[in-house]
Amino acid sequence: MKTGETESDPEVPAVQTEGLSRSYGELLALDSLDLTVNQGDLFGFIGSNGAGKTTTLRILATFLVPTRGQARILGHDVVLNADEVRHHIGYMPDFFGVYKDMEVTEYLDFFGACYKIPSKKREQTVLDVLELVGLIEKRGEIIGALSRGMQQRLGLARVLVHDPKLLLLDEPASGLDPRARIEMMAILQELQQMGKTIIISSHILSELQNLCNRVAIIEKGKLIYSGPVQGIREQMSPTRVVWVTTPLDQVEQAAGILKDCPEIADIEQIDERLKIHLQDHDTEPCFIPEKLVGAGVRLKGLQEDEFGLEEVFLRVTRGETQ
């Protein structure tokens, strides 16, 4: 594999698109997408069916040519330097074909040969990727006898055979049962720790929330948000909100104790609970129980208001498709 100055520089984005657009006849599937994914990111790509996620991933994987705009992988243009790009990526579509009559090791050896990995090295490479995805005990099995979850893991092993720097995974947990999804997400976390950059599109937003360090939300081909998961929560709620629960006969006392605290912007009483808006997101709420308990108020509960990624997605999108 050739190594240029661009991909060896950690400051070069793993993915960068500028004005990326793709039309299918009169349908504009992707509309001027400006996206940056840094090396080492585990990046969640979120959108409804028809939002433009798969189109974007296919362009990055060099399977589609953009109508307008530009996309670069580790500094390499996906159109002008497509062969170089393919050395650095592993693309796993939402539905991929497997040769069901082949053994697991035969299947991976075949793809290793396609990437011109020497035969002496291929055998160990195949065993290494099977170990990584938890299929080493299935190496002699016929693919058609594997469960859906195991076939998904085999698909991931296939894209790892040539040791790509960037993984493009389109709904990798699609159709998996809860245990298989958890196992798949654990594998992706391990791959990130190994230094891989991963872009994963998924509808399982609760899992992306805990998995990804950065996300992008796309609707009708347009980018709505791109950045840290916490950043979009802060956009939606300008202040940090904490709920305090006390006995009903002490709630007014608690409000009186807290109302003059400089860290608090506003207090609202709702039954036996206080909804407290802190001045900013950097303010820690640890002072609240100290003041209340110190003044003799019995604290029954303290909970921070957090927007889950699913709620964020519903609030910032309109449910529109192409």
Q: What is the pLDDT along the chain (322 residues), one digit of tens a residue?
A: 344 445 568 789 999 999 999 999 989 999 999 999 999 999 999 888 888 999 999 999 999 999 999 999 999 999 999 999 999 999 999 877 778 889 999 999 999 999 999 988 999 999 999 999 999 999 999 999 999 889 999 999 999 999 999 999 998 887 788 888 888 889 999 999 999 999 999 766 766 777 899 999 898 899 988 888 777 666 666 667 888 999 989 999 999 999 889 999 889 888 889 989 888 777 888 899 999 999 999 999 988 766 566 666 666 666 555 5
Same domain, 141 and 255: no
For residue 94, what pLDDT is reported? Answer: 82
- Residue 289 host element (H or E): helix 287-294
For residue 124, what pLDDT is reported? Answer: 94
For residue 3, what pLDDT is reported? Answer: 42
Same domain, 222 and 298: no
* Residue of 176, 200, 188 lying closest to 56 (CA atoms): 200
Same domain, 172 and 299: no
How far apart CA 68 and CA 224 sit, in angstroms, is 19
For residue 5, what pLDDT is reported? Answer: 47
Same domain, 213 and 273: no
Check if the beta carbon of residue 194 is closer than 8 Å to that of residue 117: no
Same domain, 141 and 33: yes
* Beta-carbon count within 10 A of 316 CB: 15
For residue 272, what pLDDT is reported? Answer: 84
- Residue 312 host element (H or E): helix 309-316
Enclosing domain of residue 180: 5-228
Structural domain contains residue 320: no
Same domain, 223 and 242: no
Same domain, 79 and 201: yes
Same domain, 284 and 206: no
For residue 222, what pLDDT is reported? Answer: 92
Same domain, 183 and 248: no
For residue 312, what pLDDT is reported? Answer: 66
Number of domains within the chain: 2
How far apart CA 279 and CA 114 sit, in angstroms, is 58
How far apart CA 133 and CA 126 sit, in angstroms, is 11
166, 177, 208, 300, 319 from 204: Cα distances, Å: 21, 12, 7, 33, 16
Same domain, 71 and 126: yes
For residue 195, what pLDDT is reported? Answer: 93
Same domain, 158 and 287: no
Structural domain contains residue 311: no
Same domain, 242 and 220: no
Structural domain contains residue 11: yes
69, 171, 227, 253, 307 from 14: Cα distances, Å: 17, 20, 15, 55, 29
Taking the whole predicted model, whether its pTM rises above 0.85 is answered as no
- CATH code for the domain of 293: 3.30.70.100
- CATH code for the domain of 87: 3.40.50.300
